[in-house]
């Protein structure tokens, strides 16, 4: 209720959009970072004629409705990004603003200002306190994103009551320190003219993001206005009645929209539809002068990749040199960046370690810094993992970009809040997560992930790839880029990996395949990444002991899960024992193996080969446990593959 006045002004006086086509590229974007106030957003969508009916509003927070408790992008027409977890929308908006700036730089041509929309975002005290918003705000200031206008709902109330109990910083000064343009509207409840003037002034500032501090009264009009009692709680019925009376509505009626309101909002929607018509004409004539760009943009908006791009993916033969998978990833980027122009790479200050930058990459930077330009396809995120992930969600949501961003696998955990939303909101985002295990060596336990892959394998709609060699790395990129609504984490090594005998892109894109077959095998070793080649060595040790063994490489269990049962049972068959081998938590590997060899403790600082040896991740250490597994299961009848289950999981 506190943000209703500014929302009314913003949507009707400044924003251009067509409710009949929520996907129109050049629409202004609106992000509600304080997503718990989503009833305001749903009500606006309804008033403007988006596909949100009065019944949908009545079904607020009900099962299978399109009006869930927090805004979800893929559920509700007109909701741009999924918000609610505080601070996320802030970072998403920064991503949308970068995407807008970049898309304009690439596609706008003299006489054809195809892309000139703005990104508007509301945030509250909760968002302002979250680290991700601080990171994103600092980034936006550095990048001089003049197309981003944020309205800060300065209502002095959070769930614990007055913000005075925990949040007494000078928010204005903080945003100025980031390089933002800041204005203050002191009576956000009533001063509609002041609000309008502030947004107008913000639009005129081209070289800085803008923050409008709007002092409002939470639950404005309610008997409880200005208290924590209206934060997320519904009003009591007598209070609702008096509010309605105060603002001139019939207190007895609910879910009624006065005709003059409907007329006003529908008029604005019609103006937006006309604006899109104009734009469509402009785009058509653009096509005559700039045919290739027209084709490229049209393709990007469909989410399709350029024809034949996959032919650029590097392939490897068994004789080829051993290479770290972070370097193999770099080779993929180097090979495909020209073919896939929507790919925008970057790193959270680990460019040289993550190998995320192709040689000829131009940085995305404000041109006046002299170190890049707006058309640049490489983002320097700084040491800001959480904002990087939130920004990537926004980049993806804009519709013209596929973002890839690097950090150490261990520090993808810093970004967990946003990674979760990549999955939930179906964003095609690629996390390039190098230094994926104790194999990073000397940096030690503070940097060696143990729990991280278990975490993200438990996250629905996330592909976790841990490629074992060059072909598997190419396969990981193939799947990451072609899966339009699923994000990916590519867990990559620091240390060199040999090219495997049995690997091909075609096999690896199934998520799992037989890397070494033996029809007489008594055990299947199921492994990923750097341990697959160790397992192949272990097979030799086992052979000497008279135990024939086979190896299954499972670079991505989620993709493997999606194969048909017959195929899966050909990889991990009935009748013989199986053991997983991965140098991290064994949690979850019971699903693919009878026994598990992993690391359910923290690692150690030292040269990586010694660390592997300390924990017995050697051919001998693997063989010893494999032999024990064969022995243990020899009397079990029938010995089913762990993939054989009593019932189907709900998905």
Annotated catalytic residues are 385
The residues, any chain, with a CB within 8 Å of residue 46's CB and separated by 6 or more, are: 52, 53, 54, 56, 57, 257
CB of 411 to its own copies, least distance (A): 7
Q: Which of residues 472-511 bind its own copies (CB under 8 A)?
A: none
Structural contact between residues 572 and 622, judged by C-beta atoms closer than 8 angstroms: no
Does residue 341 belong to the site contacting its own copies (CB under 8 A)?
A: no
Supply 552's token pair.
């299954």
> Is residue 588 part of the contact set for its own copies (CB under 8 A)?
yes
Residue 562 in the binding site for its own copies (CB under 8 A): no
Decide whether 69 or 251 has the Cβ nearer to its own copies: 69
Residue 422 phi, psi dihedral angles, 5° rounding: -55, -45
The DSSP bridge pattern shows strands 496-497 and 323-324 to be antiparallel
Q: How many residues does the chain have?
A: 651
> Is 231 annotated among the ligand-binding residues?
yes
Q: 494: annotated binding-site residue?
A: yes
| Per-residue b or e along 46-66, where b marks 16 or more CB atoms closer than 10 Å to that residue's CB | bbbbbebeeebbeeeeeeebb
384 near its own copies, rule: CB under 8 A = yes
Is residue 326 part of an annotated ligand binding site? Answer: yes
User: By three-state DSSP, how is residue 571 classified?
Assistant: helix
Annotation-wise, does 85 bind a ligand?
Answer: yes
**Position 522 contacts its own copies (CB under 8 A):** no
CB of 409 to its own copies, least distance (A): 12
Site for its own copies in 250-309 (CB under 8 A): none
Contact 121, 100 (CB under 8 A): no
Does 386 help bind its own copies (rule: CB under 8 A)? yes
Of the pair 131, 258, the CB lying nearest its own copies is at 131
610: contact with its own copies by CB under 8 A: yes
Q: How many residues bind its own copies (CB under 8 A)?
A: 133
Q: How far is the CB of 335 from its own copies (least distance, A)?
A: 23
Given the complex with its own copies, which of 9 and 43 has the nearer CB atom?
43
With beta carbons less than 8 A apart as the criterion, state whether 24 and 31 touch. Answer: no
Q: Which H or E element spans position 104?
A: helix 88-107
Task: Count CB atoms within 10 A of the CB of residue 274.
Answer: 12
Q: Which helix (H) or strand (E) is 508 found in, with range?
A: helix 505-508
User: Using CA atoms, how far apart are residues 72 and 70, in angstroms rounded to an integer?
Assistant: 6
Q: 87 labelled as ligand-binding?
A: no
CB of 386 to its own copies, least distance (A): 5
* Alpha carbon of residue 131 to chain centroid: 17
Q: Which stretch binds its own copies (CB under 8 A): 47-55, 83-91, 195-203, 317-325?
A: 83-91
Contacting its own copies within 103-132 (CB under 8 A): 125-127, 129-132
Contact present, 307 and 295 (Cβ < 8 Å):
no
End-to-end CA distance of the chain: 37
Q: Is 575 in the site for its own copies (CB under 8 A)?
A: no
> The tokens of 166 are what?
């925990």
Residue with smaller CB distance to its own copies, 386 or 507: 386
Q: State yes or no: 456 annotated in a binding site.
A: no
Q: Which is nearer to its own copies, 116 or 644 (CB)?
A: 644
Bridge partners of 496? 324
Tokens of 532: 């697959």
* Dihedrals phi, psi of 532, to nearest 5 degrees: -65, -45
Ligand-binding site membership of 126 (annotated): yes
Query: What tokens does 528 get?
Result: 């990923």
- 521 token code pair: 């095998």
Q: Is 56 assigned to a binding site?
A: no
Separation CA 396–CA 418 (nearest Å): 13
Alpha carbon 502 to its chain centroid, in Å, reads 33
- Least separation in angstroms between residue 437's CB and its own copies is 14
Q: Rounded to an integer, what distance in angstroms lies between the CA atom of residue 634 and that of residue 630?
A: 6
64 or 311: CB nearest its own copies: 64
Helix, strand, or coil here: 230?
Answer: helix
CB of 554 to its own copies, least distance (A): 15
Report the nearest approach of its own copies to the CB of residue 523 (Å): 11
Question: Could you say which residues in the range 34-73 bind its own copies, by CB under 8 A?
Answer: 35, 61-65, 68-70, 72
Q: Which residues fall within 8 angstroms of residue 191, CB to CB, at 6 or more apart? A: 185
Candidates 165-173, 198-206, 333-341, 562-570: pick the segment binding its own copies (CB under 8 A).
Answer: 165-173
Task: Select from 159-167, 246-254, 496-504, 543-551 the region that touches its own copies (CB under 8 A).
Answer: 159-167
**Closer residue to its own copies in complex, CB, 203/624:** 624
Q: Is 443 annotated as a binding residue?
A: yes
- Whether residue 638 is preceded by a cis peptide bond, meaning omega within 30 degrees of 0, is yes
Beta strands in 573-618 (DSSP E): 577-581, 595-597
Find out whether 84 is annotated in a ligand binding site: yes
Q: Cα separations (Å) of 243 from 28, 248, 251, 590? A: 32, 9, 8, 58
Say whether 125 counts as a known binding-site residue: yes
Q: Is 368 in the site for its own copies (CB under 8 A)?
A: no
Using CB under 8 A, which residues numbered 412 to 471 contact its own copies? 413-414, 416-417, 420-421, 423-424, 442-447, 450-451, 454-461
Residue closer to its own copies (CB basis): 427 or 499: 427
In 20-131, the DSSP E strands lie at 29-32, 119-124
Residue 110 or 638: the one with the smaller Cβ distance to its own copies is 638
- Using CB under 8 A as the binding rule, whether residue 351 contacts its own copies is answered as yes
User: Does 435 carry a binding-site annotation?
Assistant: yes
Q: Which stretch binds its own copies (CB under 8 A): 188-196, 260-268, 361-369, 562-570?
A: 361-369
**Looking at 18, 26, 82, 578, which residue binds its own copies (CB under 8 A)?**
82
Q: Does residue 84 interact with its own copies by CB under 8 A?
A: yes
> CA neighbours within 13 Å on the CB side: how many for 397?
36
461 is in an annotated binding site: no
- Contacting residue, 296, 320, 349, 537, with its own copies by CB under 8 A: 349
Is 294 assigned to a binding site? Answer: no
Segment interacting with its own copies (CB under 8 A) among 166-174, 263-271, 429-437, 470-478: 166-174
Across the strands, what pairs with 214? Answer: 153, 185
The nearest distance, CB 133 to its own copies, in angstroms, is: 8
Q: Is 641 in the site for its own copies (CB under 8 A)?
A: no
Residues 6+ apart with CB under 8 A from 92: 31, 33, 80, 81, 83, 390, 391, 393, 394, 397
Among residues 19 and 85, whose Cβ is nearest to its own copies? 85
Q: How many alpha carbons fall within 13 Å on the CB side of residue 318?
A: 6
**Considering the rule CB under 8 A, would residue 564 count as an interface residue with its own copies?**
no
Q: Which residues are annotated as a binding site for Mg(2+)?
A: 125, 155, 157
Q: Which residues are annotated as a binding site for substrate?
A: 231, 326, 353, 435, 443, 447, 494
Q: Which residues are annotated as a binding site for thiamine diphosphate?
A: 36, 84-86, 126, 155, 231, 411
């Amino acid at each position: 209720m506190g943000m209703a006045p500014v929302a009314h002004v913003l949507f009707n006086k400044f924003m251009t959009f067509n409710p009949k086509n929520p996907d129109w590229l050049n629409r202004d974007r609106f992000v509600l970072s304080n997503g718990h106030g989503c009833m305001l957003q749903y009500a606006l969508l309804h008033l403007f004629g988006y596909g949100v009916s009065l019944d949908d509003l009545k079904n607020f927070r009900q099962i299978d409705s399109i009006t869930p408790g927090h805004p979800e992008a893929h559920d509700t027409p007109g909701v741009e990004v999924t918000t609610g977890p505080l601070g996320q929308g802030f970072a998403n908006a920064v991503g949308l603003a970068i995407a807008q700036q970049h898309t304009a730089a690439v596609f706008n041509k003299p006489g054809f200002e195809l892309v000139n929309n703005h990104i508007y975002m509301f945030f509250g005290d909760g968002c302002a306190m979250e680290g991700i918003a601080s990171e994103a705000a600092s980034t936006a200031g550095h990048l001089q994103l003049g197309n981003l206008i944020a309205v800060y709902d300065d209502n002095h109330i959070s769930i614990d009551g007055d913000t005075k109990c925990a949040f007494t910083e000078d928010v204005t000064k903080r945003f100025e320190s980031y390089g933002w343009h800041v204005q203050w509207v002191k009576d956000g409840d009533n001063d509609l003219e002041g609000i309008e003037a502030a947004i107008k002034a913000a639009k005129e500032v081209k070289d800085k993001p803008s923050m409008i501090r709007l002092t409002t009264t939470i639950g404005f009009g309610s008997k409880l206005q200005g208290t924590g009692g209206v934060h997320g709680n519904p009003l009591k019925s007598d209070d609702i009645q008096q509010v309605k009376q105060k603002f001139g509505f019939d207190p007895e009626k609910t879910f009624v929209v006065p005709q003059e309101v409907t007329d006003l909002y529908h008029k604005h929607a019609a103006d937006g539809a006309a604006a899109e018509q104009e734009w469509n004409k402009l785009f058509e004539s653009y096509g005559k002068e700039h045919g290739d760009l027209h084709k490229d943009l049209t393709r990007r908006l469909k989410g399709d990749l350029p024809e034949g791009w996959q032919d650029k993916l590097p392939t490897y033969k068994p004789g080829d040199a051993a290479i770290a998978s972070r370097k193999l990833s770099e080779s993929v980027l180097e090979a495909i960046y020209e073919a896939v122009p929507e790919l925008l790479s970057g790193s959270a200050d680990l460019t040289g370690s993550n190998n995320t930058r192709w040689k000829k990459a131009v940085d995305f930077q404000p041109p006046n810094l002299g170190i890049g330009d707006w058309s640049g396809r490489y983002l320097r995120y700084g040491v800001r993992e959480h904002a990087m992930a939130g920004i990537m969600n926004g980049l993806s949501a804009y519709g013209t970009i596929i973002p890839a961003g690097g950090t150490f696998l261990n520090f993808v955990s810093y970004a967990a809040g946003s990674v979760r939303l990549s999955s939930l909101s179906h964003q095609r985002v690629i996390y390039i997560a190098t230094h994926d295990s104790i194999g990073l060596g000397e940096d030690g336990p503070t940097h060696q992930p143990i729990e991280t892959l278990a975490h993200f394998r438990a996250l629905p709609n996330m592909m976790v790839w841990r490629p074992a060699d060059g072909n598997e790395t190419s396969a990981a990129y193939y799947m990451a880029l072609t899966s339009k609504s699923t994000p990916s984490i590519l867990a990559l090594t620091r240390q060199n990996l040999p090219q495997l005998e049995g690997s091909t892109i075609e096999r690896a894109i199934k998520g799992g395949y037989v890397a070494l077959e033996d029809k007489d095998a008594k055990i299947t070793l199921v492994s990923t990444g750097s341990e697959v080649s160790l397992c192949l060595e272990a097979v030799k040790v086992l052979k000497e002991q008279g135990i024939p063994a086979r190896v299954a490489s499972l670079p991505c269990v989620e993709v493997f899960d999606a194969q048909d049962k017959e195929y899966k049972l050909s990889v991990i068959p009935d009748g013989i024992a199986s053991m997983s081998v991965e140098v991290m938590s064994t949690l979850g590997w019971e699903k693919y193996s009878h026994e598990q060899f992993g690391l359910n403790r923290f690692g150690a600082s030292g040269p990586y080969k010694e660390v592997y040896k300390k924990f017995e991740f050697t051919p001998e250490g693997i063989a010893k446990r494999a032999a024990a597994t064969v022995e243990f299961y020899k009397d079990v009848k029938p010995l089913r593959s762990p993939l054989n289950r009593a019932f189907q999981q709900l998905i």
